[in-house]
Amino acid sequence: MKECIKIRGIRQRDVKTVPVLPPRLTSETMAKDMTLWWGSGSPPCWRVLIALEEKNLQGYNQKLLSFEKGEHKSKEVMDVNPRGQLPAFKFGDIVINESYGACFFLESKFKSQGTKLIPDCAGSDNNCALIALIMQRVFEGNTLHQKMADVFMYNRRVPENERHESAFKRLKETLTTELQMWEGHLKKTPGGFLAGENFSMADVIVFPSVALLLRMGLSEDKYPKLAEYYKKLQGRPSVKATWPPTWKETPGQELLKDI
């Protein structure tokens, strides 16, 4: 709201008005307008946490909830996300409950601060090639996450009388093929990150899934490139700052040791 201050000149005719502008909206102020509801270890939630750190938006409000206690179905979450899922993300009146959507929106709105997660295409052929590879990996990340969830969540999603060893076996084989594909991606892409030499949106989206694989017992010997990538990114400030708290407290599992 603009207020105008009248400055009296010497003569009545010289009365001037000077508009008083609202304080410049810093990203710190804007971060305070953001709220993230999240669960520890959930890759979709972790993606948004990493993006917020990379874009220098520390200072956002956050609430850690428990999937085990069913808090993702609480009224508080349902009010923001009628699907009753985490992450749920609000920025002023804006609501984005899709992790990819929140990450893309943050990159778009805060393009000029923090890490550049998606380069600008215009005028640079190299950048265009980079964007293409980033987009390819970002969206393949969906397939990876789905195939992982099919295995991890099998017993939760499929009622007991509908479960089949043959089905579970097939899902594990599908996941194995998928992981071998990502191992191959990392072998073929020099630079250490998913899209080459620089950290990008591809890493924001996919690293949490890779971390979960290792947490669930993926063999570092069978997947050396994935293990190398995992260890490299573990040290990144945004990843360290957002490491799932429950993972620090309890050991992982061995579900994937034979994959």
Partner 1 sequence: MAKDMTLLWGSGSPPCWRIMIALEEKNLQGYNQKLLSFEKGEHKSKEVMEINPRGQLPAFKCGDKIINESCGVCFFLESKYKSQGTKLIPDCDAEQALMFQRVFEVNTFGDKMGNVIYYNWKVPEGERHDSAIKRNKEALTAEVKLWEGYLQKTSGGFLAGKNFSLADVIVFPAIAYLYRFGLSEERYPKLTEYYKNLMNRPSIKATWPPTWKETPGQDILKDI
Report d(CA 112, CA 134) in Å as an integer. 19
CB of 162 to partner 1, least distance (A): 5
Beta bridge partners of 90: 35, 95
Q: Is 159 near partner 1 (CB under 8 A)?
A: yes
* Binding test (CB under 8 A) with partner 1, winner from 167, 187, 220, 228: 167
**Is omega for the bond preceding 87 within 30 degrees of 0, making it cis?**
yes
Stretch that binds partner 1, among 17-25, 153-161, 216-224, 241-249 (CB under 8 A): 153-161
Q: Which of 64, 128 has the CB closer to partner 1?
A: 128
CA dist 177 and 170 (Å) reads 11
Per-position x/- string for 75-114, each x denoting binding to partner 1 as judged by CB under 8 A, each - no binding: -------xx-------x-xxxxxxxxxx-xx--xx-----
Indicate which single residue of 131, 144, 186, 206 sits in contact with partner 1 (rule: CB under 8 A). Answer: 131
Closest of 191, 255, 257 to residue 225, by C-alpha: 191
How far apart are CB 153 and partner 1 at their closest, in Å?
A: 13
**Cβ distance 134 to 200 under 8 Å?**
yes
Q: What is the DSSP letter of 79?
A: H
Q: Which is nearer to partner 1, 170 or 257 (CB)?
A: 170
Looking at the DSSP bridge assignments, the partners of residue 38 are: 64
Helix (H, G, I), strand (E, B) or coil at 208: helix
Residues sharing a CB contact under 8 Å with residue 67, sequence separation 6 or more, in sequence order:
39, 42, 86
**124-132, 212-220, 222-230, 235-243 -> range binding partner 1 (CB under 8 A):** 124-132
Binding site for partner 1 (CB under 8 A): 82-83, 91, 93-102, 104-105, 108-109, 118, 120-122, 128-129, 131-133, 135-136, 138-140, 142, 146, 158-159, 161-162, 164, 166-167, 181
